[in-house]
Amino acid sequence: MDKVHFDVLSLLIYSSQTGLWSFNTLQSHHPLRGLSSINPISLNGNLYWDGVNRYYREVVVSIDFYAAGTESNRCQVTLFPNAEIIPKFKRM
């Protein structure tokens, strides 16, 4: 069985205000097995991905680039409320 999981996200972010790229490394409280989509959703300054945690449960990974504090406060992993049930529809 594959034991790969990660708790660090490395992102290359483009700023339309400055016209520059920046490299960001963020720490997650909950290790992930992967992100389901390479196309995040942007909403109110946050980026959201559909992901899978180390227990193969679907999660939403959100990154708030404007949050104050440590990197771990900027990256949140939220388990779907009914994650133990196999959904009859595609979430994202």
Give the model confidence (pLDDT) of 62-75 as tens digits. Answer: 888 787 766 557 88
| Domain boundaries of the chain, sorted by first residue | 6-79
Q: What is the structure's pLDDT at 19? A: 95
Task: Write a three-state SS string for the chain.
Answer: CCCCCEEEEEEEEECCCCCCEEEEEEEEEEEEEEECCCCCEEECCEEEEEEEECCCCEEEEEEECCCCCCHHHHEEEEECCCCCCCCCCCCC
Please give the Cα distance from 76 to 41 (Å, whole number). Answer: 15
Give the model confidence (pLDDT) of 9-20 as tens digits. Answer: 888 888 888 999
